[in-house]
Chains A and B, each alone.
Chain A
Amino acid sequence: MKRAWIAVAAASALLLSACGGGGDDTPADSAAQTIDIGSVYEPQNLDNTAGGGQGVTEALNGNVYEGLFRLTDAGTVEPLLATAHTVGEDGLTYTFTLADGVTFHSGKALTSADVKASIERVTAETSRSARKSSLAVIKEIATPDDKTVTVTLSAPSISFVYHLSYVWIVNTAAGDLTTTADGTGPYRLGEWKRGATLSLTRNDAYWGTKAKNAGAVFHYFTDATALNNALLTNAVDIVTSEQSPDALAQFESNPAYKINEGTSTTKLLLAFNDRVAPFDKVPVRKAVSAAIDNAKLLNSIWGEYGTLIGSMVPPGDPWYEDLTAVNAYDVEAAKRLLAEGGVPNGFTFTLDTPNYDPHPTAATFIKSELAKIGVTVEINTITSDEWYTKVYQERDFQATMQEHVNDRDVVWYGNPDFYWGYDNATVADLVKQAEAAKTEAAQADLLKQANKIIAAEAASDWLYLYPQIVVASADLSGYPLNGRNSQFFVYDIVKS
């Protein structure tokens, strides 16, 4: 029998030794390096007008595709494929001049016709672009010559140039863009192995400043632990967005890694249905907001990371103002406000809670906080799919929780038809005026005014702003920290 035991042991040993070790490679020349990037956002397909999702923005925006303008990681809009633009007196006519010497990866030169076709892809009837409604203001696009594009709007839109930073200029003759790509960016699309990796290779014929590395491979994970393990074993150099607070401890204590906290635009909202009682009364919404200790909630979920916000506007937006003092945590004030709202003894409401983190935790916390002022919360856990149907489409809810990820989205409070039903004519007017403003300063000023009213009326309770955390090997530099709207520019990343 001894022999049988030995056989089993030998087989196991053989199996283990058959698997070679990892080994570390440190290329000397940064231009020859490939950067390995870990992400949980795999594209659905490669076309951002065909429901490609945020993964396609992360991998391709600014890397493979470029817009007329670029939204920088700092949140400013700068010219890219358009070198100059003029706006007519009426604020309705935009004339763009295209940069010289720009070619697509296929070799075809960029012309104004490509720009026209690219914008029209986004506004087309079949388009699933999230930016479609923002660009609905376009009335006509003309191409007087190869270098010039003239866009006429039906109403002034100060955000137009900002919205254009989301429009990829594509070679529409390239074929099916859901599986292939033909852009003007510093990288060509390498290979997309569905479910695993997407690679980018440097475009040596790039018209602008060439990428500092030879290319990048995005590695996709569905499991956060698997993603962090990949970083711990050097299978990836960087994780674009850390989603799990628990995972950070293992990097904090390790000098081989660097944790970077950038400016997030993702807000966790306790959204009231402002149409229905008792949330149609301002004092009630204020009472609920004041009774919840947001600092304690944020701390229990993210520790030292994340920021408190007192409104829908995150610090990265041009119209940010610190409004955390409005409806600050104050249980006594909350009780007074309840009485003022006509429900001195409290009330009961149902909180529709998405079933994934951190919503269930936050809901339990809110329930115990509100118990202090006599308000009873019934937690109703729903899937994100149910959320979309029940809450977003049918508006069949009293209060809900949701994360709103985009920047510059305070303007939704100017739309009384939006799911949360906030209806204030002054705010709607301010939002409209801001969009028609002549200057960005005027726009910012008007939106600040609107935001103050929204916060003072506690249209929703803005629980906290998520941290935007990028964890990378300590020897890596040049990566974007803020990941604004899921962008992840790869071209400046180098390993030392």
Chain B
Amino acid sequence: MITYLVRRTALLLASLSLASVVLFLLLRFLPGDPVNALLSVGATDAQIEAARRELGTNEPVAAQFLSWLGDAVTFDLGRSLISNLAVGPEIAARLPVTVPLTLAGFVLAVLIAVPVGFLAAYRAEKWDGPLLNGVAQFGLAVPAFWLGLLLVTIFALNLRVLPAGGFPPAGWSDPAAAATALTLPVVTVALVMSASLIRYVRAATLDVLGSDFLRTARALGSSLPAAMWRHGLRNAAAPVIAVLAIELATTFLGAVVIESVFALPGLGSMLTRAIAQRDYPVIQGVMLVSTFAVLAVGFLGDVAQRVADPRLLRGRS
């Protein structure tokens, strides 16, 4: 296990370094000049040159990269080209929106997907199983922002039970208001994410239900719930954990998309704005943090999988 952890950690760090290089180069080779976002119509050539000098975008790419990387390892993500505010604290200020949104959306998605997926498999021969499966299939095709707008129309504009968007200025110091503000976004994220999860749970359940070991257990007199508990869950756990890790990462990205629909001050709206303005340090900072989050979740998922099913560990070495 320890060898595995060491190897896996090294891989994590290598992925992160590679990702940072790719991110940096991708942004630099895209067309467009961040200076353009700073100056309005009427700027003189001298003003444009001065702005470029001030931003350091006239330096060679290699020099820009080294200076950025040097700062990044000390957790200094630089300053926004546009606002001149430090990127690190700006990202930290957005996390209290994006992280709860992601985690709550994910947990709710699992809470929806596990019973629904199980029912869809268990009742596969009846009318309601295929119906649930069909609804999940349909859910896969629904764009998150559209679902968000639909929920806003129903619950905010018509029923008036929830706010249409925004986040209270007081943030989490007023937990009830913050939770209320996040309800519709969380439900949107959860519904979209649960659609694909339902299909995994259904497939996994169908596998287990049709497996030899379950049939043997039933034949030996075990009830279905007892057989599922003793044998089914353990066998289904490893693949489900892998899928859950991927889903959590996807939920994070989904949450980022949904933030602008609900006018939430999270990482997503920060990234959208930064991209429109070619604000390199902000884009890099947000992408780096997101990439790190996704890689870290993958890492934890892998470890959890090996804890749940030690055969994987033996199989590797």
Contact = CB atoms under 8 A, between A and B. Distances in A.
B38 A128 contact: yes
Contacts of A404: 41
B85 A392 contact: no
Interface in A358-386: 383-386
B83 A196 contact: no
Given A8-B116, A191-B169, A226-B261, A19 B161 contact: yes
A126 interface: yes
B interface, by DSSP: helix, strand, loop or mixed? helix
Contact of A193 (B82, B260, B265, B269): B265
Given A222-B260, A223-B263, A388-B39, 6 more contacts: A8-B115, A128-B47, A191-B169, A194-B265, A232-B164, A412-B42
Contact of A45 (B40, B47, B83): B83
A51 B38 contact: yes
Contact of B94 (A7, A132, A195, A217): A195
Contacts of B54: 126
B193 to A, nearest CB: 15
B263 A222 contact: yes
B261 A232 contact: no
B11 interface: no
B162 to A, nearest CB: 5
A42 B272 CA distance: 13
B116 A219 contact: no
12 contacts: A21-B161, A42-B273, A51-B38, A133-B42, A196-B264, A217-B169, A219-B166, A221-B165, A222-B273, A226-B260, A226-B261, A227-B263
B119 interface: yes
Given A15-B187, A199-B169, A130 B164 contact: no
Interface residues of B, number: 65
Interface of B: 31-33, 36-45, 47-48, 50-51, 54, 82-85, 90, 93-94, 108, 111-112, 115-116, 118-119, 122-123, 149, 152, 156-157, 160-167, 169, 171, 176, 179-180, 183, 187, 260-266, 269-270, 272-273, 278
Which 4 pairs across A and B sit closest by C-beta, in order of nearness? A195-B265, A229-B164, A196-B265, A388-B36
B82 A44 contact: yes
Contact of B260 (A126, A223, A232, A419): A223
Contact of A194 (B45, B90, B112, B176): B90
A28 interface: no
Given A20-B176, A51-B38, A404-B41, A197 B48 contact: no
A14 to B, nearest CB: 11
Contacts of B112: 8
Contacts of B160: 21-22, 233
Given A220-B263, A227-B263, A385-B37, A195 B116 contact: no
Contacts of A386: 31-32
B149 A222 contact: no
Interface of A: 1, 4-5, 7-8, 11, 15-16, 18-22, 42, 44-45, 50-51, 125-126, 128, 130, 132-133, 178-179, 191, 193-197, 199, 217, 219-223, 225-227, 229-230, 232-233, 235, 383-386, 388-389, 392-393, 402, 404, 412, 419
Contacts of A383: 32
Contact of B183 (A4, A19, A392): A19
A402 B108 CA distance: 46
A430 to B, nearest CB: 20
Given A19-B161, A22-B160, A193-B169, A130 B42 contact: yes
A195 B171 contact: no
B169 A229 contact: no
B32 A385 contact: yes
Nearest to A384: B36
A44 B83 contact: yes
A45 B84 contact: yes
A133 B40 CA distance: 12
A258 to B, nearest CB: 19
Nearest to B273: A222
A229 B183 contact: no
Contacts of A412: 42
Most buried by B among A7, A20, A44, A126: A44
Max chain A Cβ within 10 angstroms of own Cβ: one of B37, B111, B161, B166: B166
Contacts of B119: 1, 4-5
A289 B11 CA distance: 64
Contacts of B152: 229
B169 A132 contact: no
A360 B264 CA distance: 29
B171 A193 contact: yes
A42 B122 CA distance: 52
Contacts of B84: 45, 50-51, 178
Contacts of B166: 196, 219, 230, 235
A223 B145 CA distance: 11
Contacts of A229: 152, 156-157, 164-165
Contacts of B122: 1
Given A19-B179, A194-B265, A233 B39 contact: no
B162 A19 contact: yes
A321 B148 CA distance: 48
Contact of A233 (B40, B108, B164, B262): B164
A226 B164 contact: yes
B161 to A, nearest CB: 5
A226 B166 CA distance: 9
A385 B263 contact: no
A199 B41 CA distance: 30
B297 to A, nearest CB: 24
Nearest to B82: A44
A392 B83 CA distance: 23
Q: Which of B39, B44, B85, B263 has the most CB of A within 10 A?
A: B263
B253 to A, nearest CB: 18
A229 to B, nearest CB: 4
B186 to A, nearest CB: 9
A1 to B, nearest CB: 7
Contact of B50 (A125, A179, A385, A392): A125
A383 B37 CA distance: 12
